[in-house]
Amino acid sequence: MRAVPRWISTVSRACAVLPLYSVLAFAEPPPTLPGEEITGESSATVVRDTAATRAPITSPYAPEWYVEAVKTWDAPSVSQQMDEDETPVPIGKGAVFVPRMSEPDLEPDVQIADSLGKVVVTGHPGKKFCLIPGTYSVLMGNGTTKQRIVKWVVVDEGRITPVFPTWSAIQVEVVSESNIPFKGSYEIVRLDEFEPFGRGYGRDPNQAQHVKTWILKPGMYKIFGAGGSFNSVSSYVTVRLLPGELTQFIAVEDSTTGKIVSGGVTNVAGASRKITTHWKYGLDIGGSVLFNTSNDTNNSAIVLLTNLRVNHTRSKGEWDTKFFFDEELNFSNFKFSDINNTADDFRMYSLYIWRIMSWLGPYGRMQFETNFFPVYDRFDESSQLHLFFITRPDSAVTGVDSTSRSKRLKPSLSPTDLELGVGANVDAITSGVFDAKVRLGLGYSQRNIWDEYQDVPGDSNAIKTSDENQASILSADARHALLTRFQANYKILQRSNDAVVLTYGPETSIDATLRLGRFITAEGEVIVQFPIEPIIDMHAVRPDYWVYWVNTTVSWRISNSVTLDYLYTYQYSQPVSNGPKIDLSQHRVWLRYSFNTSR
């Protein structure tokens, strides 16, 4: 049989399937697959920018600088924050997600306004804001309404639109020259455009406070003591804020004058290195060793400074703990028995916050402070005759020591201070125009003191009389020295009462911010502490004990170069132990101006 040519076979097959193709051409297309198609729009896909899966450098969703900037945050990456936020997006709506760089209650609230400028929703950063599809403006940051950062977004139905942070953040920790945090005040001004953003405060560790986070535009800023001149050439520090970064800053302030002594950027306040998914830590260890020789004297010193922070964040709970150890040992001629502790301080702060809701967060706090080494009072080597007079708290002499050059004033671990507290932080009002945060809790404190002496000034004549009446406690040589030669070489060491001081009672604070128009801001804070019943042992006196602290600031930016500030402060404190009573009321008004041809 003769074979059919290949071209005839191909034509026959085409003719056979041609009717089938014609039918399919006019057939109805199949239904679409379930689910949502992923496109290249930034609002449709959220990049996985965690440490495990980094965004590619060419990603349109995360700029190149974002990968490094997110490492400075005290918060997860944008994608992780969105995954952890359980806010549902209703059918027919979309959502805007504004990330946080630190804790949400430390940053200023976010406002979202529609195309007509009407604010439609307000809340903390780090959550989804559900909106009807349309165009919106996102307002965030510190300062007056005119100074706030504005971002425009388009909301599509069923999509979550993240706003990647091109703004900057800074946390300013105010410490004394001994590196102890306290509630010192400062002001912050943007230099390149001369924008004063107001007054900030440090934190009191005893009140379970965190350093607040400033949200500002990137640029160069000046930090100076409260009430100082904008153009001051002393008592200030500067810092450059970069886009998307959280800057940890320490301002060293003189607690008496309120002037900024020094300061700078540091990573000590942040726990940036990950141990596991939920654990992070930050460690800073420094110090020095000094050997100094002069003639026949050798003076040496060892300095050690350690800061450790451990942070655990999971679901709605966060546990933050800080350890601080400062030690400076001085000794002469390599005699370790004569070590003198210039600085000896160990402190631990621990705070746990459980965020039940976005506006409610119960907390528990703990603070422990003590010293590790004993403290001695010594005569120098040149003293040929030296006497220690040991007295009771009522100044009666109980002994005289003429053989030792040193006496212990304080043992190790005395005094020991323990602070405990539980309560809740409540966002009472959040409207953007007026925000109020309330903290209600119960505090407990305990201070243990034992076997301590203090070096007190004395009258040599009175000591002679006292010891002549108690001559039996002295040898003949000591009595002769006492009456003839000791006047320039004696010390009186008075025993302090051993005591355990316990107090407990309610503690509360209110922190409020009011924006008056576009150019005026008013801030106020009220702190009240009072124990239900102080418990004081070992002959201590029980006075009334109350603590009030009221601070109100009103700032009016009259023009780009002129601002008017009013500050009212009221402090009242009656300590548990015998100490000075504080009752201070102060009004201060500043009219400040600055002009520079470079602006």
Q: In what order do the strands lie in the sheet with 119-123?
A: 119-123, 110-113, 134-140, 149-155
CATH for 167-269 is 2.60.40.180
- Mean pLDDT estimate for the chain: 76
Length reported for the chain: 599
Q: Any idea what DSSP says for residue 79? A: H
pLDDT tens digits, one per residue of 365-376: 888 999 888 888
Report how far apart, in Å, the C-alpha atoms of 128 and of each of 98, 108, 119, 298, 416 are. 7, 16, 16, 65, 46
Give residue 377's pLDDT band: very low, low, confident or very high (50, 70, 90).
Answer: confident
pLDDT at 387: 74
Q: What is the pLDDT of residues 329-350, one digit of tens each?
A: 877 766 665 677 777 888 888 8
Rounded CA-CA distance 114/91 in Å is 20
CATH number of 64-165: 2.60.40
3-class secondary-structure state, position 146:
helix
Question: Poorest-confidence range of 26-30, 230-234, 433-437?
Answer: 26-30
Residue 328's pLDDT is what? 83
Which residues, in sequence order, are CB contacts of 136 under 8 Å at separation 6+?
96, 112, 113, 114, 115, 120, 152, 153, 154, 155
Find how far residue 264's CA is from the centre of its chain. Answer: 15
Mean pLDDT, residues 383-398 = 74
The residue among 63 and 423 whose pLDDT is bigger is: 423
CA gap 410, 60 in Å, rounded:
64
The predicted structure's pLDDT at residue 136: 95
Domain ranges within the chain, ordered by starting residue = 64-165, 167-269, 425-452+499-599
| Tens of pLDDT, residues 393-415 | 777 777 777 777 788 888 989 88
What pLDDT is stored for residue 174 in this prediction?
Answer: 92
pLDDT band at 133 (very low <50, low <70, confident <90, very high): very high
Quick: pLDDT tens for 7-42: 455 545 555 544 544 444 445 555 554 444 433 333
Distances, alpha carbon 315 to alpha carbons 35, 81, 296, 312, 328, in Å:
28, 11, 64, 10, 41
Please compute the mean of the pLDDT values over residues 514-532 and round it to a whole number: 79
27-41, 124-138, 284-298, 545-559: lowest mean pLDDT where?
Answer: 27-41
Of the given ranges (89-103, 214-228, 580-594), which has the lowest mean pLDDT? 580-594
Q: How many helices (H) and strands (E) does the chain have?
A: 5, 35
The pLDDT value recorded for residue 376 is: 84
What is the number of alpha carbons within 13 Å of residue 591 lying toward its C-beta? 1
- Please say if the pLDDT value at position 471 is more than 90: no
Bigger pLDDT: 93 or 475?
Answer: 93
Specify the pLDDT at position 101. 92
From the list 71, 122, 130, the residue with the least C-alpha distance to 101 is: 71
